[in-house]
Amino acid sequence: MDKYGEAYWKATLGLLTKILAVWFLVSFGAGILFADILNGIHLGGYPLGFWFAHQGSIYVFVALIFIYAKKMGEIDRKFDVHEE
């Protein structure tokens, strides 16, 4: 693989690392690890830790899909591997 391809995969893996870190923090962190701390805050009448575990994480996951698609498109255009 040439330097051009290596830079592309480095950018792609960097994006994936960031997306997966947010996914982990929201699903495992907010839903399990920090639930007791977050439960002191209420959102819509429900403790925030409970809300993240049951609804909030889904909203974040859907947002991550759109963010990934947008950022991946930017990376593809930067390295001129985008589709017309």
Quick count: other Cβ atoms within 10 Å of Cβ 23? 15
User: Is 83 part of any domain?
Assistant: no
CB 25 within 8 A of CB 52: no
Q: Identify the domain containing residue 53 by its residue range.
A: 3-78
Residue type, 82: H
User: Is 36 part of any domain?
Assistant: yes
- The domain tally of the chain equals 1
Q: List the structure tokens of 27.
A: 């699903």
- Tens-digit pLDDT profile for residues 32-59: 898 899 999 998 888 998 888 888 889 9
Q: Which residue has the higher pLDDT, 26 or 83?
A: 26
User: Is 31 part of any domain?
Assistant: yes
User: Is 84 part of any domain?
Assistant: no
